[in-house]
Amino acid sequence: MAKNKNKKSKNKNKRIKLPVFNKKTLTKFIVDIFRKNPSRLYNYKQIAAKLNVTDVRLKQSINEILWGLTEKKIIAEPERGKFLYAGAVSNITGRIEMTKSGAAYVVSDQTVDDVYIARQNMNKALHGDEVEVYIYARRKRSKPEGEVIEIIKRAKTDFVGVLEVTKNHAFLAVTERRMPYDIFIPIHSLKKGLDGQKAIARITEWKTNAKNPTGKIIDILGEVGENNTEMHAILAEFGLPYSFPKELDKQAEKIEAGITPDEIAKREDFRETTTFTIDPADAKDFDDALSFKILENGNYEIGVHIADVSHYVEEGSDIDKEAYKRATSVYLVDRTIPMLPERISNFICSLRPNEEKLTYSVIFEIDDSANIINERFVRTVINSDRRFTYAEAQEVIDTGEGDFSSEILKMNELAIKLRKARFKTGAISFERSEIKFNLDEKGKPVSIYFKESKEANKLIEEFMLLANKHVAENVGKPEGNKKVNTFIYRVHDQPDIEKLYNFSNYIKRFGYEFKLNNEKEIPKSLNNILSQVRGKPEQDIIEQLAVRSMSKAIYSTDAIGHYGLAFDWYSHFTSPIRRYPDLIAHRLLFYYTHGGKSVSKHKYAEKCKQSSYMEQLSVQAERASIKYKQVEFLQDKLGSYFDAVIAGITERGMYAEIIENKIEGMISIRDLDDDYYVFDEKNYCLIGERKKKKYQLGDLVKVQLIRANLQERLIDFVLAEED
């Protein structure tokens, strides 16, 4: 019989001399130095010497981190420029990150390490809650542990589940993974909900001596398994709206869509310039267009025209407040939940063909080598000549024939040169295929296919990246003694070096070598590996591991650059219909180009946090909808056999990914009954103690589907018996 048994590495976490740091990793090492030498003063040069840092940029980062740690009172500055460990704090505030077991970690700005909270010490705190935590005395080399002493702010009080109704009482059996409690519902608070229906309950109280919270039903979603019910349930689970307030739709209907001669007179007129859009076939909100013109000097004028949402959505209006709250449009498998009312996103602002539209544009003069000669940022009016789907534009590229073929071919040629230059300076090529479903009239998946990025997609991508980069540089890049104005950037920190070391070790078993000796060579080495794995069974695994080794891109008022794109300055400007940060960027760019003084950094830092947080929720909801449809696709295939590849290994078992459709499921260690298997944590493999059979990442296996649980969005396999 198989059991789980952690095999601890004999290797004792010796510190490695690291060639490159991201901010998070660097902070941990700095705090570690102070903790081990609590009575010693250090300046930034001494810290740099202890970490073997000679790079000027990293030394500057060390100095910034020291001041940040001083503000958090993790270290003190008893002498000018010299710092001392401030000692352990007993109480901190932070955010709960709950695990499947019901235990949690608290993430706080007041500590470097996350604080572990055992389930019995949660004191009714739930995932995402802002809490105050008492930290226990720390044992040598142990990670901090504590208990919740106060819930400062609930992250959410509304939860999705299935009603269990009896004559005298009811419960909502919560289906959300990070909510370990069901909610008691008094009969009078059922809102006519019936046993077995899916519903949303709101917690109204949680008595001290009660195991479960008490709540009321606020919405009946419908019958379990119905497509609308389940998609709405996913949105509600992540606190995302599934409908638009009717009063805002009414306000949007009152917005005047016509363009007056006075407004046109304020703008550059591109109505006679060749202009077109290229978008997905099912798109309705066309928020970007490209124009093309050959100049007298032989260079090319290429306009990146973006829907001027800021002209129609006034800052501080009810529609604007709702857009800020949502921060992004949400894309599930079968629907889009827009950030703005559909009259604005799909009609007034959508750059539909043969309609005059107001835009905010970045106009580039580009030579034949794709060098940027000149640029300007102007409000414009356009009239798109043609709407292309990506497939239609790709056909023009492939055949050299069709509408605006000369313009598209030249722009594609320039885009290829821009892309080549980007990779030469260190950009990383993440080109993972996107899973798509063909759905029947009831929303059930009948087949799965994968959408890959072709030249037409990359053409649009390169010019959008170019516009985003130059907008950020225009506002934020310092020139001489010019004061830098507050702006909203899209930033991507350097990778966590420890994750890169792990990645390097993982892929060695596949025969790939990832070089970490030189910081500047890391992107090139990573691109080489991503290129080598294309078309091989281990492609998806290695691409996933590569992505996980990277930091997450977020919004920030600090321009730390975008590592993945190899840009020192980068913003989001090109999608204001579906991303609120782009709308902010439009407003600030116009404000600054007309002489406005720098806005409050603190105020816009909060806007960045809100946008980043909502973006993460949106991504999680999208993934949940994909997982739901994958499980639904397999429901009628129980007992079937599939060729798969081992995509992950934990102490609980192995994750196997079906090669044909990339659907992932779990092979429980309990079901490996031919031996007693040990989890080798160091090498991420399972080893049979008796027969020494080994399962590791990338192994090809035959699996049988034994469970497809829609409500939990879980898939279980067993290994097929060998002949």
- Please report the pLDDT score of residue 111 as a whole number: 75
Is 481 within the bounds of a domain? Answer: yes
- Please report the pLDDT score of residue 276 as a whole number: 98
- CA proximity to 507, closest of 525, 487, 489, 482: 525
- Please report the pLDDT score of residue 19 as a whole number: 47
Tally of domains within the chain = 6
- Please report the pLDDT score of residue 11 as a whole number: 41
Last residue of a domain, one of 444, 460, 485: 485
Contacts of 65 (CB under 8 A, 6+ apart): 23, 26, 27, 30
Is 620 within the bounds of a domain? Answer: no
Instruction: Quote the domain boundaries for residue 659.
Output: 638-719
Do 326 and 408 lie in one domain? The reply is yes
User: Is a pLDDT exceeding 60 seen at residue 479?
Assistant: yes
Do 502 and 530 lie in one domain? The reply is yes
Q: Which residue has the higher pLDDT, 18 or 641?
A: 641
User: Is a pLDDT exceeding 60 seen at residue 510?
Assistant: yes
At residue 294 the predicted structure's pLDDT band, cuts being 50, 70 and 90, is very high
- What percent of the chain is modeled with pLDDT above 90? 67
Please tell me the distance from the alpha carbon of residue 270 to that of residue 273, in angstroms, as a whole number: 5
pLDDT one-digit tens code per residue, 149-205: 999 999 999 999 999 999 888 999 999 988 989 999 999 999 999 999 999 999 999
Is 594 within the bounds of a domain? Answer: no
Do 422 and 471 lie in one domain? The reply is yes
User: Is a pLDDT exceeding 80 seen at residue 419?
Assistant: yes
pLDDT one-digit tens code per residue, 33-59: 887 888 889 998 899 888 888 777 778
Do 286 and 340 lie in one domain? The reply is yes
Is 602 within the bounds of a domain? Answer: no
Do 264 and 401 lie in one domain? The reply is yes
Please tell me the distance from the alpha carbon of residue 671 to that of residue 717, in angstroms, as a whole number: 9
- Please report the pLDDT score of residue 312 as a whole number: 97
User: Is a pLDDT exceeding 90 seen at residue 393?
Assistant: yes
- Please report the pLDDT score of residue 62 as a whole number: 87
Asked if residues 594 and 403 have their Cβ atoms less than 8 Å apart, the reply is no
Do 185 and 81 lie in one domain? The reply is no
Report the helix count and the strand count for the chain, using DSSP H and E.
17, 34
Please tell me the distance from the alpha carbon of residue 616 to that of residue 708, in angstroms, as a whole number: 26
Is 706 within the bounds of a domain? Answer: yes
- CA proximity to 204, closest of 180, 192, 186: 186
Do 105 and 190 lie in one domain? The reply is no
User: Is a pLDDT exceeding 90 seen at residue 347?
Assistant: yes
- Please report the pLDDT score of residue 548 as a whole number: 84
CA angle in degrees (0–180, nearest 5) for 691-646-493: 130
Is 99 within the bounds of a domain? Answer: yes
Q: Which residue has the higher pLDDT, 280 or 510?
A: 280
Do 59 and 196 lie in one domain? The reply is no
- What percent of the chain is modeled with pLDDT above 70? 95
Is 564 within the bounds of a domain? Answer: no
At residue 430 the predicted structure's pLDDT band, cuts being 50, 70 and 90, is confident
Do 350 and 469 lie in one domain? The reply is yes
Last residue of a domain, one of 205, 237, 269: 237
Do 278 and 355 lie in one domain? The reply is yes
At residue 139 the predicted structure's pLDDT band, cuts being 50, 70 and 90, is low
pLDDT one-digit tens code per residue, 438-451: 999 999 999 999 98
Q: Are strands 685-688 and 677-680 parallel, antiparallel or unpaired?
A: antiparallel
Do 60 and 124 lie in one domain? The reply is no
- Check which CATH number belongs to the domain holding 699 and give it: 2.40.50.140
Is 584 within the bounds of a domain? Answer: no
Last residue of a domain, one of 237, 262, 277: 237
Q: Rounded mean pLDDT of 690-705? A: 91
Asked if residues 448 and 437 have their Cβ atoms less than 8 Å apart, the reply is yes
Do 146 and 177 lie in one domain? The reply is no
User: Is a pLDDT exceeding 70 seen at residue 142?
Assistant: no
User: Is a pLDDT exceeding 60 seen at residue 721?
Assistant: yes
- Check which CATH number belongs to the domain holding 69 and give it: 1.10.10
- 68-93: burial string, b at 16+ Cβ within 10 Å, e else: ebeeeebbbeeeeeebbbbeeeeebe
CB atoms closer than 10 angstroms to residue 117: 25
At residue 501 the predicted structure's pLDDT band, cuts being 50, 70 and 90, is confident
User: Is a pLDDT exceeding 80 seen at residue 262?
Assistant: yes
